[in-house]
């Protein structure tokens, strides 16, 4: 009797979530159809016209069309060739369609790999559709879902083909870099080389089409990014730049980048001492949120942690992970606006992220000592 009532309540809850998700999804897509300002269409158009947009934008420190500043890696502008065949209004709609595919593909791929039940898979899919990072990505035409999809591949398939395609994630190097760094930390040197192929191919095509100096062009994406001065409050790179005056110098910023890569590399070595692939993926994906500037749409990277934690919800640390991710997915933006004091709030979020990664690493080694009551997700 109790089981029957519980099942009915679960079904009612699921149907309610489906209804809310449909409404949320339609609302988000309708906004994306008229916005999409972060979709890097104009830099790609300039590139395929033979113009080195990096050189053009470095002079101004930013782009001259909406939010399209073009600081992404060469390969992104090469891949966007099909979109350059259309006017802006049509191109942004097509990119929205691509993002919608990733909205469904990413959670289904991860949940299937974890052998989650049908109920859990649908539940997580609905969470992914309705969470603010996903909705923001669709609204602004961001590249976050594109990057995340290719970051996921080597953890799920772990073969040479997935390693090559994972290199596509480097189009957004402030996020995708962690895939390359993780290959080194896990001593998968062949995969590191294979993942580099797409990047170098994009670079070669770019400097050839634009008749640019190869060596200078190689560093232009990061040069434009540093020139733009993309700084937030919730990552180590930004905090150093805000509170340490010499960091404003270009070459000093390069030293900061080197320092951060070393610290991140050490952390990845610690993470890779664990044998669980999906546990490693969950923590590896948090690293870009700790070390480099990001926005709310980048918190989609917390989704693997949510999936893994629901699968292993009998452990106290995973219960904490679940509440933590849900906070970022639904409440972070609201609380941030209410407090309206980023100088305090964002560094606190950074401390929480760092603490979460360290606690998870420790807890994984001591599972038997932190066993708690079984929180069931049917």
Query: CA-CA distance, 220 to 77, in Å (whole number)?
Result: 14
Question: Is pLDDT of 377 > 90?
Answer: no
Q: Is the pLDDT of residue 323 over 90?
A: yes
The residue written with tokens 């896990």 in the block is 186
Asked whether the whole model's pTM tops 0.85, one would answer yes
Closest CA to 303 of 38, 100, 123: 123
Place of tokens 């603490």: 355
Contact 374, 314 (CB under 8 A): yes
pLDDT digits (tens, 9 = 90+) for 107-119: 999 999 999 999 9
Residues in the chain: 378
CA distance 99 to 200: 25
Q: Which of 126, 134, 123 is nearest to 300 (CA)?
A: 134
Mean pLDDT, to the nearest integer, of 271-288? 95
Instruction: Name the CA radius of gyration of the chain, rounded.
Output: 21
Beta bridge partners of 371: 315
pLDDT of residue 5 exceeding 90: no
Dig out the tokens for 162 from the structure.
Answer: 């997935």
Query: 20 and 135 in contact (C-beta within 8 Å)?
Result: no
Read out DSSP for 190-217? HHHHHHHHHHHHHHHHHHHHTT--HHHH
Query: Is 244 a residue whose pLDDT tops 60?
Result: yes
Long-range contacts of 322-329 (CB under 8 A, 24+ apart): 324/352, 324/356, 326/127, 328/133, 328/299, 328/302, 329/127, 329/131, 329/132, 329/133, 329/299, 329/302
Q: What is the pLDDT of residue 247?
A: 52
> What is the DSSP secondary structure assignment for residue 367, as one 8-state letter?
G
Q: Where does the pLDDT of residue 9 fall: very low under 50, low under 70, confident under 90, or very high at 90 and above?
A: low
Across the range 277-285, mean pLDDT stands at 96
Mean pLDDT over residues 123-147, rounded? 96
Number of H helices, E strands in the chain: 21, 0
In angstroms, the first-to-last Cα distance of the chain is 17
User: Among residues 225, 230, 243, which one has the least CA distance to residue 343?
Assistant: 243
344 sits in which H/E element: helix 342-365
pLDDT confidence of residue 335: 86
Query: Which residue, among 129, 172, 120, 101, has the nearest Cα to 27 in the 3D structure?
Result: 129
Tell me how far apart the alpha carbons of residues 113 and 107 are, in angstroms, rounded to a whole number: 10
Q: How confident is the model over 179-193, as pLDDT tens digits?
A: 999 999 999 999 999
Crossing angle of helices 277-284/303-311, nearest 10°?
Answer: 150
Cα–Cα distance measured from residue 30 to residue 252, given in angstroms and rounded to the nearest whole number: 44
Confidence of residue 370 (pLDDT cuts 50, 70, 90): very low
């Amino acid at each position: 009797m109790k089981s029957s009532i519980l099942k009915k309540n679960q079904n009612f809850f699921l149907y309610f979530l489906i209804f809310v998700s449909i409404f949320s999804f339609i609302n988000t897509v309708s906004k994306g159809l008229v916005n999409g300002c972060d979709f890097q269409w104009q830099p790609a158009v300039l590139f395929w016209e033979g113009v080195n947009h990096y050189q053009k934008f470095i002079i101004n420190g930013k782009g001259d069309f909406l939010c399209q500043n073009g600081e992404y890696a060469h390969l992104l502008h090469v891949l966007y060739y099909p979109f350059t065949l259309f006017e802006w209004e049509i191109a942004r709609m097509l990119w929205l369609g691509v993002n919608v595919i990733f909205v469904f593909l990413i959670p289904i791929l991860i949940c299937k790999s974890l052998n989650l039940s049908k109920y859990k898979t649908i539940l997580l899919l609905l969470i992914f559709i309705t969470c603010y990072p996903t909705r923001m990505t669709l609204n602004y035409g961001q590249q976050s879902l594109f990057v995340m999809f290719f970051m996921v591949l080597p953890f799920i398939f772990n073969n040479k083909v997935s390693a090559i395609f994972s290199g596509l994630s480097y189009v957004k190097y402030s996020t995708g870099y962690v895939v390359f760094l993780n290959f080194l930390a896990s001593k998968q040197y062949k995969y590191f080389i294979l993942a580099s192929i797409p990047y170098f191919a994009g670079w070669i095509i770019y400097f050839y089409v634009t008749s640019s100096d190869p060596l200078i062009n190689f560093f232009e994406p990061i040069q434009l990014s540093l020139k733009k001065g993309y700084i937030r409050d919730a990552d180590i790179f930004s905090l150093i730049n805000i509170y340490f005056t010499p960091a404003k110098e270009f070459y000093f910023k390069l030293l900061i980048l080197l320092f951060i890569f070393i610290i991140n590399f050490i952390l990845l070595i610690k993470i890779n001492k664990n044998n669980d692939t999906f546990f490693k993926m969950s923590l590896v994906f948090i690293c870009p949120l700790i070390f480099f500037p990001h926005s709310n749409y980048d918190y989609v990277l917390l989704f693997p942690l949510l999936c893994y934690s629901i699968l292993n919800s009998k452990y106290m640390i995973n219960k904490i992970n679940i509440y933590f991710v849900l906070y970022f997915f639904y409440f972070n933006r609201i609380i941030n606006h209410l407090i309206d004091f980023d100088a305090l709030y964002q560094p606190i979020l950074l401390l929480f992220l760092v603490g979460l990664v360290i606690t998870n690493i420790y807890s994984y080694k001591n599972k038997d000592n932190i066993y708690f009551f079984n929180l069931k997700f049917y």
